[in-house]
Amino acid sequence: MPLIQWNNDLYSVKIESIDKHHQTLISLINQLHEAMREGNAKEIMDGILHELNDYTIYHFNAEEDLMRSHNYPMEEYTFHKEQHEEFKFKLSELVEKYQNEEILISIETSKFLKEWLVNHIQKVDKKIAGIINY
């Protein structure tokens, strides 16, 4: 059973490209969660964590480019970007600690990823739709 199930009413920001990105991030978090539940080998977990890290950077850059290109209010943009930077830092720390065998990726980690993404989409990203109208 997936950790996060996509729901348009809950998660859609009404911008198709961003929604697709969010769906990909949800899929990666679900894959990570499933690999942990099944106790898969480190190589599988390592690949999923790297893909999640790389895709997060790609997604955040795309979101920030979209906001800049639509003259998103600077205060909102700065806050949004700071949240992205904090998350990228935390995720890269998790990847590094996992690679150095300092931590095991746990259910708590996948829950953190879920809660952060869900909260970010619902409380921060949904504001994009209110400002950027396609």
- pLDDT (tens digit per residue) in 74-84: 999 999 999 99
**Contact 48/31 with Cβ under 8 angstroms?**
yes
With bands split at pLDDT 50, 70 and 90, how would you rate the model's confidence at 131? Answer: confident
pLDDT of residue 115: 93
d(CA 97, CA 115): 20
Q: Determine how many CB atoms are found less than 10 A away from the CB of residue 59.
A: 18
With bands split at pLDDT 50, 70 and 90, how would you rate the model's confidence at 37? Answer: confident
pLDDT of residue 122: 93
Q: What is the pTM of this model?
A: 0.89
- Can you list the domains of the chain with their CATH numbers? 8-131 (1.20.120.50)
